[in-house]
Structure 1
Amino acid sequence: MSDPDGLTPARDGSAPASIALVVNPTAAKGGALTSLPRVTGRLRDAGHEVEVLLSRSPDEAAALVDRAATSGAGVLAVMGGDGMAHLGLDAVARRTAADLGAGLALGLVPAGTGNDFARGLGLDPHDLEANVGVLAAARTRAVDLLRVGERWVGSVVATGFDALVNARANRMAWPRGSARYTLAVLAELRTFTPLRYSLVVDGTARELDAMFVSVGNTTSFGGGLRICPQADPYDGLLDVTIIHPVSRARLLRLLPQMRSGRFAADPCVEQLRARSVRVAQGAGTAYGDGEELGATPVSVELVPAAVRVCLP
């Protein structure tokens, strides 16, 4: 039975829930592995059965998440950063959409450098105890997702300047965290010029030049940059942020304001809400949750209540 806020107990209390926990042991500079006994101990103390699956590579993580999704567990939980969250939500959403995952919920234990999806759902990436408590309580809420072809995205689909920065940041081994994104911004900004876009927003087509176009389900990407500051993962709409052509110096001045979302008040920024958008940008590449989605054009659709997530 749901409460008025849409929260539903994932179990009825008569039997322990089964949690499949897929862990990136290198997340948080190895802190995820160090914290793992505390996490599993608290979950087991709460009466849950916990299977831990440790990944040694991105490919193995994807395979383990798929295995966990089909294991019969009631909760597929992931411990790591945005990459792990992306794998988890994609696996749960695919099974839910195919009517194969009835009752399967997603659990998040953010332990990476970005944690934008978890942050967008109200989880504090710096409070491990609180996040494990949320998972232990096993109360779920239906959350919207973005569907891009066969892929599912929880936070933001980035194109243009944002996508170039994302690609560069993914190639950088140092530094960690949001500082890596900042350095990638400065490197890309040296030669960047506005790009030609073709957009179709809820069936209405337009051509424009822009620095970038981002499509958000939650507010942030890049470790807390609030590129879609009004995005709400429960409202049944996606948010589109367009930054129209500006000088490189002006774009550089706007970037720090993305931490708070204040940049959106600048006249060069346009924000839209829609249910679907098609984005084409020459030979550009789109990224979702920090992961490469492929070349544009991409069609992004908001799917209401696509997954159930363990939330406060």
Structure 2
Amino acid sequence: MRQFTAVVNPTAGGSTGAAALLPLAGLLRGAGAEVEVEYSRGLDHAREVARQAAGQGRVVLAVGGDGMAGCVGGALAGTDALLGLVPAGRGNDFARALELPSTAPDLARLLLHGEPRRIDAVEVTSPGRPTTVGLGSVYAGVDAVANRYANETRLLRGAASYYLGGLRAVLGWRHADYRITVDGVLHERRGFTVVAANSAFYGFGRRIAPEARVDDGMLDVVVIRETSRLLFFAVMNELKSGTHTKRPEVEVLRGREIRIEADRPLPYGIDGEVDAVLPVTARVLPGALGILC
């Protein structure tokens, strides 16, 4: 019988990550599993708790949104530890990419009896900052600005916060000149954003990189080039289905190591957390993490 330690973001989704854990924990305990619960005091504390629990042979549950998933998953990457996700955030995009069950009984069955799967992680380095490891996408441009606005809002939750943040970001956007180095090959582009994607989704269910896979050892690099704001909003609408990649303004590259630079210190984000500026290098870590999905 698997034993679990749940690392909980108590403010996930703008309310409480614990609410999502309660019915699941009851089902796991009812099946005979032990479930310990640790409330995170911050990302560093969450990483520490995750590593300690994994060292005891326990399955580590990341309870929260993409930030908690990336934080805990990144802390366990490169080890034999086993991760489970309990989606409780606003976007839950990495959980969506893994096609996790949406009901507590189905998720409990997966966590108790599912077979582990090895997936890729993303190592992120930036001058003057410690190296971190995440799971989803590294994005640098208008979307990072929008994500920062969404994180700052306290009046709106879920998709509404992303829509408002996106509108505010686009209306104030000035095109950036990017230098994108993909496995040593330089590409110079001007536009709205560059996304190095390990998984298909970001920004509350938007299929930014439809062909990206979490276990193929590659990053899909999506570049949205210079165009009008009106056409950009049309591209954003097409992210719901992934058809934006057919537009000439959208370019998709692929590689294992991506460096993104720009003509000004643009913000970049990873797994929903936006607290740094370019330049940044993202390197895929193939099969680095064991996960129940």
Normalising by structure 2, report the TM-score: 0.91
Letter in 1 for 2:154: A
Q: Work out which of the residue numbers 4, 28, 53 in structure 1 matches 2:38.
A: 53
Please state if 1:112 is matched with 2:89. Answer: yes
Q: Deviations over 1:46-77 (max 9, x none)?
A: 3322211123x5x2x54144123213142111
Please state if 1:87 is matched with 2:71. Answer: yes
Secondary structure of the residue aligned to 1:157 is strand
* Corresponding position of 1:260: 241
Q: Deviations over 1:243-300 (max 9, x none)?
A: 1100011101211111111111111100111111110022112100111252211111
Q: Which moves more between the two structures, 292-301 or 109-118? A: 292-301
Secondary structure of the residue aligned to 1:147 is strand
In the alignment of these two chains, the number of paired residues is 285
- Aligned-residue CA RMSD (Å): 1.8
- After TM superposition, the structure 1 = structure 2 runs for residues 1-312 of structure 1, keeping only pairs within 5 Å, are 16-28=1-13, 30=15, 32-55=17-40, 57=41, 59=42, 62-71=44-53, 72-93=56-77, 96=78, 101-102=79-80, 104-124=81-101, 126-149=102-125, 150-281=131-262, 282-292=264-274, 294-311=276-293
CA offset at residue 30 of structure 1?
4.4
Decide whether the 8 Å contact of 1:108 with 1:118 is kept in 2.
yes
CA offset at residue 35 of structure 1?
4.4
Give ranges in structure 1 of 5+ residues lacking alignment. 1-15
Letter in 1 for 2:283: E
CA offset at residue 138 of structure 1?
4.5
Q: Which moves more between the two structures, 209-218 or 71-80? A: 71-80
Q: Deviations over 1:2-60 (max 9, x none)?
A: xxxxxxxxxxxxxx3221111234434646434433212221233322211123x5x2x
Residues 207, 28 of structure 1: alpha-carbon distance in 2 compared, 3 angstrom cutoff: closer
Decide whether the 8 Å contact of 1:145 with 1:217 is kept in 2.
yes
Residues 148, 34 of structure 1: alpha-carbon distance in 2 compared, 3 angstrom cutoff: closer
Between the aligned residues of both structures, percent identity stands at 34
Normalising by structure 1, report the TM-score: 0.86
Q: Which moves more between the two structures, 208-217 or 79-88? A: 79-88
* 2-structure distance, mates of 1:46, 1:127: 16
Secondary structure of the residue aligned to 1:159 is strand
CA offset at residue 129 of structure 1?
2.7
Q: Which moves more between the two structures, 68-77 or 221-230? A: 68-77
* 2-structure distance, mates of 1:305, 1:223: 25
Residues 34, 212 of structure 1: alpha-carbon distance in 2 compared, 3 angstrom cutoff: closer
CA offset at residue 238 of structure 1?
0.5
Decide whether the 8 Å contact of 1:109 with 1:128 is kept in 2.
no
CA offset at residue 169 of structure 1?
1.1
Structure 1 runs of 4+ with >3 Å offset: 25-32, 34-37
Decide whether the 8 Å contact of 1:109 with 1:132 is kept in 2.
no
Decide whether the 8 Å contact of 2:71 with 2:134 is kept in 1.
no
* 2-structure distance, mates of 1:133, 1:30: 26
Decide whether the 8 Å contact of 1:198 with 1:205 is kept in 2.
yes
* Corresponding position of 1:4: none
Residues 293, 137 of structure 1: alpha-carbon distance in 2 compared, 3 angstrom cutoff: farther
